[in-house]
């Protein structure tokens, strides 16, 4: 993500006075992603991640923080929010909602192996199972209404062919009703850079601030679209099947999900094509802006449309 809000060591030291985390030793900005300001924080008590929320409001954030705490209690390796002396996960820093969470081990990969895709498939299934007992609900803020509204904003920057593709896909998916498919809490952004790996083991799932309540298969499609792609935007059969099989071993996939799979891959690609178009052409000011190239998901979407049969189990 970008560092939109600068925080000094003096400012953070004062903020940390409300936490039992020891003395501040190091503060380092994280320059990746696009939504929030993040810093690595090292104190005499350990390593943490500080997040200042640039878009989400204080009224929206309890869902995400409570979800992470819930998943951590259920054995999912995810950031565990730290409560302050008022027993609150959420504070305020530089006039922004802010929290501090545990920092996990491992590092992300840009070239996942088949074994690593199998590992993330199993972990995603475990996360979906653990999420079934989470009582809070958050309708997907990037669902059909968001797709329609965002499409209108980015259409002026597209050429005629791109505009036709975008309009037809938004219209197609607005007509779908997936309420009969298994639902629950989804990560909704489980890209490679949001998973920390220790060789072939998942050390951590991070960045839950797109999490919401939606179709579980949609979460699988989002993950496959990033983890299992060739450079040309076509699916790698071996990696896709490895991910789906290990997921299926944890949460068995239904025949209705098999039928829905091709369109789920497409709507997942559409969602990220749209958001990357928006971030590229309508960016916010930031010190370390790192907008992703929207053409990658345009190619993925086109390939899904052209494919006669989506890779399955």
Flag the least confident range among 6-10, 77-81, 286-290, 294-298: 286-290
Residue 285 pLDDT grade (very low, low, confident, very high; cuts 50, 70, 90): low
Residue 31's pLDDT is what? 82
Looking at the structure, do residues 198 and 266 belong to the same domain, yes or no? yes
- Encode pLDDT of 23-64 as tens digits: 999 999 998 656 899 999 999 999 999 999 999 999 999 999
pLDDT of residue 253: 98
Buried-state track 222-247, b at ≥16 Cβ within 10 A, e below 16:
bbbbbbbbeeebbbbeebbbbbbbbb
Indicate whether 14 belongs to any domain: yes
With residues binned 3-state (H G I as helix, E B as strand, rest as coil), the percentages for the chain, rounded to 5, are 45, 15, 40
Q: Are residues 67 and 123 both part of a single domain?
A: no
Query: Do 126 and 26 reside in the same domain of the chain?
Result: no
Are residue 156 and residue 294 in the same domain, yes or no? yes
What's the number of domains the chain is made of? 2
Owning domain of residue 248: 114-306
- Contact criterion met (CB below 8 Å) for 10 and 293: no
- Clarify whether residues 55 and 170 are in a common domain: no
Q: Are residues 183 and 92 in the same domain?
A: no
pLDDT for 179-237, tens place per residue? 999 999 999 999 999 999 999 999 999 999 999 999 999 999 999 999 999 999 999 99
Q: How far apart are CA 92 and CA 24, in angstroms?
A: 18
Mean per-residue pLDDT for 115-133?
98
Best CA proximity match to 271, nearest among 207, 313, 226: 226
């Amino acid at each position: 993500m970008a560092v939109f809000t600068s925080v000094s060591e003096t400012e953070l030291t004062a903020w940390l006075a409300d936490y039992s985390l020891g003395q501040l030793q190091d503060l380092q900005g994280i320059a990746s992603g696009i939504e929030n300001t993040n810093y690595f924080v090292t104190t005499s008590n350990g390593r943490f991640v500080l997040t200042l929320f640039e878009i989400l409001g204080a009224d929206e954030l309890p869902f995400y923080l409570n979800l992470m705490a819930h998943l951590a209690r259920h054995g999912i390796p995810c950031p565990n929010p730290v409560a302050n002396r008022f027993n609150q996960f959420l504070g305020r820093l530089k006039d922004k909602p802010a929290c501090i969470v545990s920092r996990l081990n491992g590092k992300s990969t840009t070239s996942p192996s088949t074994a690593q895709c199998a590992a993330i498939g199993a972990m995603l299934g475990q996360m979906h199972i653990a999420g079934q007992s989470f009582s809070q609900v958050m309708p997907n803020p990037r669902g059909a209404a968001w797709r329609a509204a965002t499409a209108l904003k980015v259409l002026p920057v597209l050429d005629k062919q791109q505009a036709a593709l975008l309009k037809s896909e938004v219209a197609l998916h607005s007509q779908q009703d997936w309420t009969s498919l298994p639902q629950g809490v989804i990560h909704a952004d489980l890209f490679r850079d949001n998973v920390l790996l220790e060789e072939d083991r998942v050390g951590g799932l991070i960045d839950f601030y797109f999490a919401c309540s939606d179709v579980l298969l949609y979460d699988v499609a989002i993950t496959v679209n990033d983890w299992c792609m060739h450079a040309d935007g076509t699916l790698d059969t071996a990696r896709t099947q490895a991910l789906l099989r290990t997921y299926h071993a944890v949460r068995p996939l239904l025949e209705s999900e098999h039928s829905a799979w091709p369109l789920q891959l497409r709507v997942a690609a559409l969602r990220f094509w749209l958001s990357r178009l928006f971030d590229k052409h309508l960016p916010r000011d930031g010190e370390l802006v790192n907008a992703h190239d929207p053409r990658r998901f345009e190619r993925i979407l086109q390939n899904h449309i052209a494919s006669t049969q989506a890779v399955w189990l």
